[in-house]
Structure 1
């Protein structure tokens, strides 16, 4: 009875204050702790549900009491941020979907529009809402909405700059430039297949023969991933770099529904038909059909670390290893320079690069490198003669590191291979994308309990493309996340000059070839147990098979032919049957090169006499032969560059 005498506005502000306090607490909590904040998230969400329902039921009274329209929009924005934060903690696509629905409703109903012309604080809220929605759209791969929101952001910044002349909006103009660089760098993926794992486009588990080893029967699954990049002046949007963005996408399931259909838009202004999330229930159902698929397993949980300190990275790694499920494997993706104080060219909005005073070249992110083969490489690449157990080489590798810092003490900002060894008590799948990647071979053989699998980038990646026109992040990471796009980029082919019929034909052949390589690995008697225990995880298997393709392409590419500095490596060694210069591997590269009429850019030392172009094949299958003479000096070169 007493509550009935309390003014509606006081109840509203009391609920709002309570919700804000809980929101601030969960916003500041770490994203990498498994299930630690789920209960508190439910409490916060319950409070915001009450607040949202209360303002719906008393909208007119609240407006009369002085509640502004932008304050209602602020509630919706907080709910959208809650959903996005929970997606970062859990990698569950449904949370990302809910965040999308809220942000679209906020912007389509222009909650902040009117107030943004009166107060600069509200103008900043509008801009922040657009930027957060942009990130959600990027992750959801809704490219049309990305460009629509980018145009809205650019126009809004210019409009507010004219309206609030005492502020130059410099920081927001820098954000616009970041987006320009990011979208230009990511244009290679436009109108091509999604980076997510697709049950329609990618291989199925049922297509692999059984591996009889005990390790394979363990059935380890990718449960967690730590994705971290630390390069100065790298292409990024907010705290999402281009390379971590690609890896993030690569480690998620693509929904099998009609994901790319045009999205609807909530049109109920007062929210009378809204559920607890504030969007139309009908609209939510249609969105859920788009992105949620009950037949798919959950996405691996991912922690994205932008420019972490070494101590912070190790702290996150320790927490993740401690909480890793018994059947889980942890993927660690690290992209950083191996040289202290090394920086990289920063692309401007026009696509050109601004010189950096400390740019020394040589990294996968320094795509201006114009290196040439200088040494001869003896094959096979995985021969025991190149074993990491060579004492002298191990001592040399121990001096390598990843530079996670700007300036300062070397030991404080350097991540050494030995820093990862204590965590090898749990299964690790490690990807190192760096010019000092070879130093991390020291981990192999020094594990504390579980064998570690390592995919290592070349120490000197090669690019024949003028980087000022095609900034594209790491070549090695691109091969692991979008192998055919990486192949085209290596040859200087961009989205604007690629025949899509040829591209689709090559894509189909590559998928078949990757499946054949997977079958070859599963049937091999020499497959190392470390690989066998992760082969049946779809995400890890796909990374392994794309690594094999990457190595084969670079091994046959004329400018890098037989030069080990340009080749990626892996430990433990993969079977000889998938070595880069076997007849089977060369055939894959030749067939794809033939599709794009670029076979003259490669050197093939062992091709079948009856080889045909793909369009002349009635059945596309990679020859299954192990008879390649890998040490042969007789090479069949179509035409050198």
Structure 2
């Protein structure tokens, strides 16, 4: 799929148009010289002048295209771990050249569209606009500034509204027709990240029609690749929409993002986030699994159009790793640790399979002494086997606890990481771990999305998943969301004021993103504790360092009324004791 979504070179033979025009210039010059006294001399001279001007326009346009393509390719090839001091100047140069290219084609559109000049087509204008959209998108990926994601959406929407790619199938040229498919796939990714789900549904239908037409009319070599891309897109959107519908049959909406920076409720201490997913069967699109997408969303801010004098978003910078190796995870964590100060947090999220004591975490009899378990068990970053090279062990994460470290593990092997030692006294760290196992009736890790991550994404989504809710009144859904918001706020306030709250947790709760994760972790544990299907301790999430029994009991008491009100709004009290 990556090859289908990559940027192709222009590939058109515009140079032949320039050669033809230069021949016309030469002919006009010869005509003007040979008929110096003829009545048409002035007209010939004017024609020669116009042709020469058009040649200069075409040549300058091609020069700008070449420079833009070289810079764009170089920017894409820069590693995601490279310092902002390197990639930002490169980005600024690239954006500057694309701005010149865009303005130049606008100012000289009439000349460039002449067949004997350059023969500029609308889909080529669309490709320039699409690359500008990609630049904004890549800037978002490196900074997490959703304002630039909004700018990417603006460009992609303009391409759709101006029908730049509408005629590409008529060319009967496969690589030209594929430009519209690439644009459609990229636009859908941006729409998903902005929660423009109505537009996403339209694009999925459009993609199906385009892929079928592409395969039938052009029969290209990569038609199966595009069919696979469409299937991945459709499966991802279907999993994304795995929510109850309201009484009107509409999908129940959810908004997981934090407020915009203007309306934020606290400061941000998370600087870098490494998000990794290794579940082999989860729906994926553009290197995003459902779990990755959900965790990414809850660390975003509401997009605001960027201002010229505005710094980058204070939302944490994120690295997205789809099915990475253990060494790749360690490399990205190390690069992130390099860039943060001693007062900022590094956040690591992992969703995937794992093993306890060297045996599959889902069951079996342990034959390894407990003292060796943390060295043999861990997170499987490749298909399970006997090879420990691709397994991330608890002690692998110890070096990253030298600075404030927050870790969320959604894996059957997550509880094993409670053995991670605290070697750097005074430096806060916290592990939030999913249940080791789930009741047989609950597809906690086996479904299209993990249950623990669903609760972190939004508690109401987690409750709906546990209770398998299919239909909820719109008013009840909205009220449950507000109730869950009040519940989270109450948990944070209670932990901030409780005398038994550990000192390290006070620092964590000053960050609005980390405070929300802690609150939703508490909500998840309370909900599962009271659900009739969850009977064993290993079916509950845990944390390291753990909270005292007294504090957990007090949190349970605090949550009793909030739980009852939330369940009442959703109408699922019968699933709880």
Q: So what's the TM-score if we normalise by structure 1? A: 0.73
- Where do residues 266-281 of structure 1 align in structure 2 (5 Å cutoff)? none
- From 332, 346, 353, the counterpart of 1:337: 353
Q: Secondary structure of 1:244's match? A: helix
- Where do residues 379-390 of structure 1 align in structure 2 (5 Å cutoff)? none
Query: Aligned residue for 1:299?
Result: 315
Q: Secondary structure of 2:427's match? A: coil
CA displacement, residues 371-403 of structure 1 (integer Å, 9 cap, x when unaligned): xxxxxxxxxxxxxxxxxxxx9755433322111
Q: Residues 438 and 444 of structure 2 are in contact (CA less than 8 Å); yes or no, is this contact kept in structure 1?
A: no
Query: Aligned residue for 2:23?
Result: none
**Does 1 or 2 have the higher relative contact order (CA < 8 Å, sep 6+)?**
1
CA displacement, residues 12-64 of structure 1 (integer Å, 9 cap, x when unaligned): 11111111111110011123434130011001111111111111111111111
Q: Residues 116 and 123 of structure 1 are in contact (CA less than 8 Å); yes or no, is this contact kept in structure 2?
A: yes
- From 476, 491, 495, the counterpart of 1:521: 495
- Name the count of aligned residue pairs: 507
d(CA) in 1 for partners of 2:564, 2:54: 81
Following superposition, which runs of at least 4 residues in structure 1 exceed 4 angstroms of deviation?
3-6, 202-205, 291-297, 360-363, 391-394, 465-468
Q: Secondary structure of 1:570's match? A: strand
The alpha-carbon distance between structure 1 residues 508 and 74, as it changes in their structure 2 partners (threshold 3 A), is: closer
- 2:378 matched to 1:398? no
Query: Aligned residue for 1:568?
Result: 541
Displacement, 1:404? Answer: 1.0
- From 164, 176, 180, the counterpart of 2:234: 180
Q: Residues 444 and 452 of structure 2 are in contact (CA less than 8 Å); yes or no, is this contact kept in structure 1?
A: no
Query: Aligned residue for 2:291?
Result: 243
Q: Secondary structure of 2:167's match? A: helix
Q: Secondary structure of 2:496's match? A: helix
Query: Aligned residue for 1:548?
Result: 522
Q: Secondary structure of 1:490's match? A: helix
- From 384, 398, 406, the counterpart of 1:421: 398
- From 165, 171, 192, the counterpart of 1:112: 165
- From 169, 193, 196, the counterpart of 1:142: 196
The alpha-carbon distance between structure 1 residues 507 and 80, as it changes in their structure 2 partners (threshold 3 A), is: closer
Query: Aligned residue for 2:257?
Result: 196
- Where do residues 394-543 of structure 1 align in structure 2 (5 Å cutoff)? 395-406=372-383, 410-447=387-424, 450-462=427-439, 464=441, 471-494=447-470, 497-543=471-517
d(CA) in 1 for partners of 2:218, 2:312: 49
The alpha-carbon distance between structure 1 residues 220 and 177, as it changes in their structure 2 partners (threshold 3 A), is: closer
Query: Aligned residue for 1:84?
Result: 137
The alpha-carbon distance between structure 1 residues 44 and 595, as it changes in their structure 2 partners (threshold 3 A), is: closer
The alpha-carbon distance between structure 1 residues 518 and 168, as it changes in their structure 2 partners (threshold 3 A), is: closer
Q: Residues 232 and 283 of structure 2 are in contact (CA less than 8 Å); yes or no, is this contact kept in structure 1?
A: yes
Q: Residues 184 and 203 of structure 2 are in contact (CA less than 8 Å); yes or no, is this contact kept in structure 1?
A: yes
User: Which is richer in helix?
Assistant: 2
Q: Secondary structure of 1:7's match? A: helix
CA displacement, residues 322-354 of structure 1 (integer Å, 9 cap, x when unaligned): 0013431111001110149x9xxxxxxxxxxxx
- From 54, 60, 82, the counterpart of 1:11: 60
Instruction: Name the Cα RMSD after superposition.
Output: 3.2
Q: Residues 250 and 481 of structure 1 are in contact (CA less than 8 Å); yes or no, is this contact kept in structure 2?
A: yes
* Unaligned ranges ≥5, structure 1: 206-218, 258-287, 343-359, 364-390, 604-641
Displacement, 1:361? Answer: 9.9
- From 138, 141, 154, the counterpart of 1:101: 154
d(CA) in 2 for partners of 1:329, 1:581: 25
The alpha-carbon distance between structure 1 residues 417 and 465, as it changes in their structure 2 partners (threshold 3 A), is: closer
* Unaligned ranges ≥5, structure 2: 1-48, 244-250
Q: Secondary structure of 1:196's match? A: coil
d(CA) in 2 for partners of 1:20, 1:203: 39
Larger Rg: 2
Q: Secondary structure of 1:411's match? A: coil
Q: Secondary structure of 2:514's match? A: helix
Q: Residues 398 and 439 of structure 1 are in contact (CA less than 8 Å); yes or no, is this contact kept in structure 2?
A: no
Q: Residues 491 and 555 of structure 2 are in contact (CA less than 8 Å); yes or no, is this contact kept in structure 1?
A: no
Displacement, 1:486? Answer: 0.8
Q: Residues 225 and 301 of structure 1 are in contact (CA less than 8 Å); yes or no, is this contact kept in structure 2?
A: yes
Displacement, 1:4? Answer: 6.7
Query: Aligned residue for 1:131?
Result: 185
